[in-house]
A and B are shown apart, each in its own frame.
Chain A
Amino acid sequence: MATKLGPTPVKSPASGGAPTHHGPKGVGEDNKILSQGKWAAWLLAPTVIALGIVIVYPIISAIMMSFQKDAGLDPATGLFTAGGPAGIQNYVNWIAQQCSAPGGGTLACPPGTLGAQFWSATATTFFFTIVTVTLETVLGFWMAMIMARTFKGRSLVRAAVLVPWAIPTAVTAKLWLFIFAFEGIANKLFNTSILWTGSEWPAKWAVIIADVWKTTPFMALLILAGLQMIPAEVYEAAKVDGATAWQRFRMITLPLVKPALMVAVLFRTLDALRMFDLPYILTGGANNTTTLSILVINQIRQGFNAAAALSTITFVIIFLVAFIFVRFLGANVVEQSGATGKGKK
């Protein structure tokens, strides 16, 4: 590989904090940053516009709605009338689990209202996220390491791994519902009589198993792509130096795959925090499997503005998780890969 052209680092721009970048050669430095900025703007514009239409607009509209009251019933006409401005009441109601009281004002949400489920849904969402993402990472890493080896039938395994993920979620959920039925194949096969969707822990595990089955391939593929970019020579050199398999894994594989791994884990986490279809179809949210997204769609059917507030709260929760992730676990692609890039030289 070409090692002779060690590039001259360009000074960091005024914004600071950015790692060094290797720009194309030519012209003076000031011009370079200027022209790079221009290029960057053009290159990023399509992405920013696409996300602006589909994501930013709904978020802005949801935030605006979240400060409105939901329509109430006019007892005289029996028709709904617009609720008017609510201030932050919708948010307070969710977080403090307060519901409207019959005589006006609020009371602690009785069990059976959606409001009473906010914190338990949050806990469930985090529980599912932590368990599924951990299992998927470990399993996915293992699968990727196997698939990276050379052996007969490797492409068969690579294709097979895609199968769970290629089956549309709508079918997957029905398939698992079918498998986990009381008279279904799961109980038959293991000679058990578990009420998979009818009691708390089996229901949670049913959701977890289905989710891990479905999305581990996503992890495995991304990690595999990372593994493929490590030159084989690095391993062979390490073997010669007498490194054990575990050492090779810890000192070479892990650090070199880390950028890809972190992207995979980050996006899986964001997706898991918004988990919806699987528990919705499998358990209908019964037995403490209601996630925040299920709560959102249930609330949408009862009142849009409170649902908008809940969506915004979910957004903020996920934002905080992502922030912590990037800040403390070093999942920032730019910074992280800059560091490994340096380490390699």
Chain B
Amino acid sequence: MKAKLTATAALMMAGALALSACGGNTSSGTTAGGGDAAANLDGRGPITYVQGKDNNNVVRPLVDKWNAAHPNEKVTFKEQTDQADQQHDDLVQHFQAKDAGYDVMAVDLVWTAEFAARGWLQPLKDKMAIDTAGMLPSTVTGASYQGTLYAAPESSDGGILYYRKDLVPTPPKTWDEMMGMCSIAKANNIGCYAGQFSKYEGLTVNAAEAINSAGGSVLDKDGKPSLNTAEAKTGLENVAKAYADGNIPKEAITYQEEQGRQAFQDGKLLFHRNWPYLYNLATTEGSSTVKDKLGMTALPGTDGPGASSLGGHNVGVSAYSKNKATAADFLKFITSEESQRFFATQGSLAPVLTKLYEDKELVAKLPYLPVLKTSIENAVPRPVTPFYPAVTKAIQENAYSAIKGEKSVDSALSDMQKSIESAGAGS
């Protein structure tokens, strides 16, 4: 009898722990309402800034500088891991727990709408407003949801078409021109073109670029899918056709940024779409064979520059923060010209301020800036939608099949369309 009691007691203890924990937070998973956007607007005091790994050691010096000037509103810098998925999940965990411990956070472009729609990000208006006048317009669009700015653009990024200037005298302006030059690649026995076609976020970037460059779009102005257009078909077909006839080498289906960069640096590609970081490595790395043969131009479009997918990060303020006034000041501090210049020189991060792209000193240090400016000016943010995780899966899944030729471009686009419609229909 006693034994049974003890055993039952043990089980009950475990159960009780479970129940007491349930009590506070049952709705956490399902909750929709976010924090109170009107609260703590005048709060001042120490805050925490959260972002992924600070690879180039740019954030720490900036934070030190801020702290020296603001002894009563010190910023603590919390680094997350280097993987975007984990950064996303970490933020979601803290938001769901309504944690006031994360005040300001780096928000990937594609999470901004989701976090805004959940009510987790403080709208940057009225007291929280920041000046966006000098910023590249596409970066501002990428930080806004339904016309309201929810985060401050911190750094930008855009695709660049790298080419071998020893083999290609004048870079192509359009996709068709580029395909026409593939005979050069064949003559030299190398691959013609590659982007990132492995099934991951990079494929969404590339597929969206193909569709946008051909004049289509993934979502229309109301956030509804618009993939059943001739333009979208042309865009995706361009890539699928190039893969089928070998202009895109077959191994490109396994390429993420690094594998593609490696192939290009080894001299195995004539054209390669990648981010600005390739420039820094391809010109310095010991194994690079293209150090002096590296050409850069804007992505090719239908009759002019194509539409790059926009990369980069925004910085948002948590709706649960207690010290939003300090947070707002800190946002202004990191988007200031001085900080932006520091990001660029120290960390090779593309600035969001237009005028820095013409800055002589910066261009001397980062020769890709003029090309990047064209790229970002023509850039389209990846679909801005609170359902981004579902949308990107729909694009990856179907674009991958279409490129590999397992599915016709038509049915891939129609499945994409239906999947995105279903995601938006809610449950």
Interface string of A181-204 (1 = CB under 8 A from B): 111000000000101111000000
The answer to whether the Cβ of A81 comes within 8 Å of any Cβ in the partner chain is yes
Bound CA–CA A303/B198 (angstroms): 25
The answer to whether the Cβ of B386 comes within 8 Å of any Cβ in the partner chain is yes
- Max chain A CB contacts within 10 Å: which of B15, B34, B426? B426
- Structural contact, B117 and A73, CB atoms closer than 8 A: yes
The answer to whether the Cβ of B11 comes within 8 Å of any Cβ in the partner chain is yes
- Structural contact, A78 and B397, CB atoms closer than 8 A: no
Bound CA–CA A103/B401 (angstroms): 28
List chain B residues, Cβ under 8 A from A320: none
The answer to whether the Cβ of A123 comes within 8 Å of any Cβ in the partner chain is no
Interface string of B238-278 (1 = CB under 8 A from A): 00000000000011011000010011001000000000000
The answer to whether the Cβ of A286 comes within 8 Å of any Cβ in the partner chain is yes
CB distance from B341 to the nearest CB of A (A): 35
Bound CA–CA A300/B18 (angstroms): 22
What residue in chain B is nearest A304 (Cβ atoms)?
Answer: B29
Bound CA–CA A173/B4 (angstroms): 47
| Stretch of A2-10, A82-90, A149-157, A231-239 at the chain-chain interface | A82-90
- Max chain B CB contacts within 10 Å: which of A45, A53, A195, A286? A286
CB distance from A277 to the nearest CB of B (A): 12
CB distance from B82 to the nearest CB of A (A): 11
23 A-B pairs with CB atoms under 8 Å apart are A34-B3, A37-B4, A41-B3, A45-B7, A52-B15, A61-B21, A65-B30, A69-B427, A71-B31, A73-B387, A78-B117, A80-B117, A80-B118, A100-B425, A100-B426, A102-B424, A109-B422, A112-B397, A112-B398, A193-B251, A284-B198, A298-B393, A302-B423
List chain A residues, Cβ under 8 A from B398: 111-112
- Structural contact, A183 and B119, CB atoms closer than 8 A: no
Q: Which residues of B contact A (CB under 8 A)?
A: 1-4, 6-7, 10-11, 13-15, 17-18, 21-22, 26-27, 29-34, 85, 88-89, 92, 116-119, 145-146, 198-200, 250-251, 253-254, 259, 262-263, 266, 386-387, 389-390, 393-395, 397-398, 400-401, 407, 415-416, 418-419, 421-427
What residue in chain A is nearest B425 (Cβ atoms)?
Answer: A100
- Structural contact, A73 and B426, CB atoms closer than 8 A: yes
List chain A residues, Cβ under 8 A from B386: 73, 78, 80
Interface positions, chain A 97-141, Cβ under 8 Å from B, are: 99-104, 107, 109-114
- Structural contact, B29 and A78, CB atoms closer than 8 A: no
List chain A residues, Cβ under 8 A from B6: 38, 41-42, 45
- Structural contact, A80 and B32, CB atoms closer than 8 A: yes
- Structural contact, A89 and B393, CB atoms closer than 8 A: no
Known: A37-B4, A196-B254, A284-B200. A71 touches B419 (CB 8 A): no
Bound CA–CA A144/B383 (angstroms): 54
Interface positions, chain A 35-64, Cβ under 8 Å from B, are: 36-42, 44-45, 48-49, 51-53, 56-57, 60-61, 64
- Structural contact, B18 and A60, CB atoms closer than 8 A: yes
Partner of B30, one of A41, A44, A304: A304
What residue in chain B is nearest A55 (Cβ atoms)?
Answer: B14
- Structural contact, A89 and B427, CB atoms closer than 8 A: yes
Number of A-B contacts (CB under 8 A): 207
- Structural contact, B422 and A41, CB atoms closer than 8 A: no
- Structural contact, B422 and A37, CB atoms closer than 8 A: no
CB distance from A14 to the nearest CB of B (A): 12
List chain B residues, Cβ under 8 A from A255: none
- Structural contact, A302 and B254, CB atoms closer than 8 A: no
- Structural contact, B89 and A301, CB atoms closer than 8 A: yes
CB distance from B255 to the nearest CB of A (A): 8
Bound CA–CA A112/B414 (angstroms): 10
CB distance from A168 to the nearest CB of B (A): 13
The answer to whether the Cβ of A1 comes within 8 Å of any Cβ in the partner chain is no
- Max chain A CB contacts within 10 Å: which of B2, B254, B262? B254
List chain A residues, Cβ under 8 A from B4: 37, 41
The answer to whether the Cβ of A216 comes within 8 Å of any Cβ in the partner chain is no
- Structural contact, B394 and A112, CB atoms closer than 8 A: yes
- Structural contact, B423 and A198, CB atoms closer than 8 A: no
List chain B residues, Cβ under 8 A from A48: 7, 10-11, 14
- Structural contact, B14 and A52, CB atoms closer than 8 A: yes
Q: A48-B11, A305-B29 are in contact. List 5 more A-B contacts (CB 8 A).
A: A49-B14, A73-B386, A99-B419, A284-B200, A308-B29
Partner of A41, one of B7, B253, B395, B425: B7
- Structural contact, B119 and A78, CB atoms closer than 8 A: no
- Max chain A CB contacts within 10 Å: which of B31, B146, B419? B419
- Structural contact, B423 and A195, CB atoms closer than 8 A: no
- Structural contact, B422 and A107, CB atoms closer than 8 A: yes
- Structural contact, A52 and B18, CB atoms closer than 8 A: yes
The answer to whether the Cβ of A79 comes within 8 Å of any Cβ in the partner chain is yes
The answer to whether the Cβ of A70 comes within 8 Å of any Cβ in the partner chain is yes
